[in-house]
Amino acid sequence: SAVISQKPSRDICQRGTSLTIQCQVDSQVTMMFWYRQQPGQSLTLIATANQGSEATYESGFVIDKFPISRPNLTFSTLTVSNMSPEDSSIYLCSVAWGEKLFFGSGTQLSVL
Amino acid sequence: AQRVTQPEKLLSVFKGAPVELKCNYSYSGSPELFWYVQYSRQRLQLLLRHISRESIKGFTADLNKGETSFHLKKPFAQEEDSAMYYCALRGGGAQKLVFGQGTRLTINP
């Protein structure tokens, strides 16, 4: 299995600021994903982080708001830009390992 | 479009009773279905997938293409089964998952 380290585990941020979330995997993986889980809601895919090219965003998510980096096969970052209270959520990193998906422990973000 | 529906947000049963968590999906092709579980203060983890036709921790799930369902079942619930359960679908050869809303299962002693 793949071991995923995600940080920070939680943060409280001011409106208008940005937060970068890091995801480190102990093995090289091709596919990395970023999900969001809003309060009381299910997990929604934000984007697929592609190594060596731009991320692929799902409908409703844009690069300017959620820029993603994927500099190598073991690391990715997600930035939540110009935050508003509506961005308060849990953000999850996920990797595909064989036929399975593994998840990080999540980043709980609260925007005041 | 791919969609997963879990009609029950909350489900409460007594220890030793059978439990069934419902999952229905919408997908035009041949889907892969999964159940993920999140125990208290732990990360989301795979419970089982329909391809494996396995039983994990006493849980089983059968893909019913006619009813487009993938219900999770266990004949005798245990207190440690209390958790949040998510049904998920993967289709079209992509690795990404579409999740249902989740069902919080509580097993009462």
For chain A, the domains span 4-111
Residue that the structure tokens 């999540």 belong to? A106
A51-60 LR contacts (CB < 8 Å, sep 24+):
none
Q: Looking at the partner chain, which of B43, B95, B100 has a beta carbon nearest the beta carbon of A96?
A: B95
Residue A99 pLDDT > 80, yes or no? no
Q: Phi/psi of residue A3, each to 5°?
A: -105, 125
Cross-chain Cβ contact A104/B43 below 8 Å: yes
Tens digit of each residue's pLDDT (9 = 90 or more) over A11-37:
999 999 999 999 999 999 988 999 999
Neighbours of A91 (CB within 10 A): 22
Give the pLDDT band of residue A108 (cuts 50, 70, 90).
very high
CATH number for the segment(s) A4-111: 2.60.40.10
Cβ-based interface (< 8 Å): residues of B facing A = 43-46, 49, 51, 86, 95-102
Q: Which residues pair with B103 in a beta bridge?
A: B85
Tens digit of each residue's pLDDT (9 = 90 or more) over B80-98:
999 999 999 988 777 788 9
Structural domains of chain B ordered from first start? 3-108 (2.60.40.10)
